Amino acid sequence: MLMLQSKLFTKTRREDPKDEQAKNAKLLIRAGFINKEMAGAYDLLPLGLRVVEKIKSIVREEMEKLGSQEILMTSIQRKDVWEKTGRWSDEVVDVWFKSALQVGGEVGFGWSHEEPIGDMMRNYILSFRDLPFSVYQFQTKLRNEVRAKSGIMRGREFMMKDMYSFSLGKEDHDRFYAAAIEAYNKVFARVGIGADTFVTFAAGGAFTKFSHEFQTITEAGEDAIYLNREKNIAINEEVLNDETLASLGVKREDLEKVSTAEVGNVFNFGTEKGEALGLFFKDQSGESIPVWMGSYGIGITRLMGVLVEKFSDEKGIIWPKSVAPFDAHIIVIGGMDSEAMIAANKLTETLEARGVEILLDDREASAGEKFSDADLFGIPTRIVISPKTLEEGKLEVKDRATGEVKKISEEELVSLF
């Protein structure tokens, strides 16, 4: 896949946007990946959308390995469904966006889909033969956040992958729950943050002692966890007490406090939702049994923001290869009809044949401007073709992550991909 930078409608900025505090928003706006509509609401532009789709592709692969099936639910939600669990109340859930219908009545706009999907499954779960299974979706969520100051790490509108499991009982559920945790660990490893992301014990509500969050170490995070690296135990600050420490077999003095951002969570509802929503199945003896439910979320756009916070420098973003908008950024020094451009077109054909995704900077701009934009974009490999490199018979290649610049042949370059 090839994109010509001269055709890219977005433009880079040299200065930070004045109304942004978060590094992720500053860099993504400056690089033309996102556009800010208002606090907590951002548009995904071509480069930003490509990153999001790369993240989604990784998540989708791991969810499908679990056997989960992809769906897409509506964001408009019925009041009566949420009233069954008591969560329509603004006192219980304080992030609702709600609207009155012209024909009468009231609807909510999806901040989560736990109740609607449980209600929907009453149409599809009748017998023990229908279980177990899980479904997932990539969905836009809307939350009326009071604080929307962390760029795309805390938005009023954001993209989430939410998955829901439906099981026969505790043993059935626990098996899938453990597999989902492992799948999440694989996702975070593949996007480059596996070493700094920890399965964290957090508050679990009335039906389980703990839920589990996936917390990534970053100074930009709004959470704090206490970490024992040797035992690989992490505890959210909200549940750090003597009882929790004793149950996990750790001492307070052995824990390190770090700032983190939550990038995912998994939660066991037990039979709570099934009982409240009327989601039952008939067992082999004909008895009605409430379905066990679990909920599993990853904030897709939030994860994108965390990656920028962790992988960036004073020059711009440094995307991990797995989620970069393009594999290579070819910069041509010379005009549209120059020998350098002819050589760039030939190289592009060679790389495209190998499945390499390329952004080709064919603009009539100075070398300094092109290099500055390349550093800001953060594409892993920068390739310079100029009269000088043609004379040398080499290509100038820069690794964005390490900053290493070297001169190599075209054959050596092709072997890198």
Burial of 244: CB neighbours in 10 Å, binned 0-12, 13-18, 19+:
middle
109-122 confidence digits (pLDDT tens): 999 999 999 999 99
- Residues 252-256 have a mean pLDDT of 94
| Half-sphere exposure at residue 105, Cβ-oriented, CA atoms within 13 angstroms | 8
Q: What is the pLDDT of residues 323-345, one digit of tens each?
A: 999 999 999 998 776 899 999 99
**From the CB of residue 158, how many other CB atoms can be counted at a distance below 10 Å?**
23
Asked if 285 and 326 count as a contact pair (C-beta separation under 8 A), the reply is no
Query: Phi/psi class of residue 263: alpha, beta or left (left: φ > 0; alpha: ψ in -120 to 50)?
Result: alpha
pLDDT value at position 378? 97
Answer whether residue 53 shows pLDDT above 70.
Answer: yes
Mean pLDDT, residues 170-196 taken together = 97
Q: Average pLDDT in the 22-45 region?
A: 96
Mean pLDDT of 340-363: 94
* pLDDT value of position 206: 44
Using a pLDDT cut of 70, give the percent of the chain over it. 98
Higher per-residue confidence, 146 vs 57: 57
The pLDDT of residue 184 is above 90: yes
413: left (phi over 0), alpha (psi -120 to 50) or beta: alpha
The pLDDT of residue 147 is 81
Domains delineated in the chain: 7-313 (3.30.930.10), 326-414 (3.40.50.800)
Report pLDDT for 148.
81
Model pLDDT for residues 309-325, shown as the tens digit of each residue: 999 999 999 999 999 99
Residue 205 has a pLDDT of: 54
pLDDT at 146: 86
Which of the pair, 306 or 207, is modelled with greater confidence?
A: 306
Is residue 369 scored above 50 in pLDDT? yes
Supply the pLDDT for residue 287.
Answer: 96
Residues with Cβ within 8 Å of residue 65, at least 6 apart in sequence: 183
- Average per-residue pLDDT for the chain: 94
pLDDT over 60 at 208, yes or no: no
The pLDDT value recorded for residue 207 is 44
> Quick one: pLDDT at residue 212?
93
Region 116-142: mean pLDDT is: 97
